[in-house]
Amino acid sequence: MAKVVTMGEIMLRLSTPGYERFTQAKSFDVVYGGGEANVAVSLANYGHDAYFVSKLPENPIGQSAVNHLRRFGVNTDYIARGGERVGIYYLETGASMRPSKVVYDRANSAIAEATAKDFDFDVIFKDAEWFHFSGITPALSEEAAVLTEEALKAAKRNNVTVSVDLNYRKKLWTPERAKEVMSNLMQYVDVCIGNEEDAEKVLGFKPGETDVTTGELELEGYKDIFKQMKDQFGFKYVVTTLRESYSASDNGWSALIYDGEEFYHSKKYNVRIVDRVGGGDSFAGGLIYGLLAPEKDFKQALEFAVGASALKHTIFGDFNLVSVDEVETLIQGDASGRVQR
């Protein structure tokens, strides 16, 4: 199995119990999560040597975040310690026509103030096969944008394959700033993952008549922008998740991949959602697993990613706590949900 490195922020997640609104809640459920940390957990579950790179304060909350990762098999040797705080986000889970809501309290977190001096990237990437980051990390601060590029340069020096999940977050930066920073970072990327909003807001490519609000898909538009993205940035694969939002509780879920010659649209799952936070991260983790698996071609890798992320939507918390066997059972056609005895 491969050494895979991810880098980003892990946050304390405080979510209202069940489907309570913020104004109703008298307590919060506590878990930890964050884009690249979620990917690392998925890959550890699948048997890879998953390393998470970040910076956390030397206090009990920072240690709790480290312990949470270790609990699920992620190697935390490369987490620097220091800074003042762990980022927090509050989650109110939606239902039916009421959407979920997220409130961030993450300014000046430890990783947002980290610099390349906190890490020895050549040591971190020694013998690594894959590095994954997202558009969230460089959005955290000017320092984090510089740190991300330094990590990418080191990954390329060490012949490491690089994937990105574009992950546009309007509460962190503007489309203009996102395009400025992320367009520069794309020179280091081999596999680009994003949804329709990410492609438009981060790189300036709009997929035809697709509507992110209604979830109405227009696949020919994707094919056109995938070709443009590959021509401009030289990606090996361009990938998007395709979410059809019937409501906050029920979504259609599939994906599309382009390898420079062929477009492939995966099987679609109709998902009843328990927790959609981390759904895209579980897709990225599944895709990386599939592309690293010598017995899978890129189409099979995509099917694994879609199946893995469909299952994640049924699991509370940010992490996708499923096994390879569970994903393979689903993609082979058993979606009955019958009790296994």
Residues known to be catalytic: 281
The CA distance from 279 to 245, in Å, is 14
> Could you give the C-alpha distances from 148 to 73, 87, 181, 242, 307, in angstroms and in order?
24, 18, 10, 27, 30
- Give the 3-state secondary structure of residue 326: helix
Nearest to 284 by CA among 2, 35, 13: 35
Q: b/e per residue, 177-216, with b = 16+ CB within 10 A?
A: ebbebbeebbebbbbbbbbbbbbbbbbbbebeebeeeeee
| DSSP annotation of 340 | P
DSSP type of residue 112: G
SS3 124: helix
d(CA 334, CA 318) in angstroms, rounded, equals 24
Q: What is the dihedral of CA 80, 113, 110, 27, to 10 degrees?
A: -160
CA distances from 131 to 179, 287, 309 (A): 21, 13, 20
CA distance 300 to 283: 13
3-class SS at 96?
A: coil
**What's the angle, vertex CA 311, arms to CA 31 and CA 165, rounded to 5?**
70
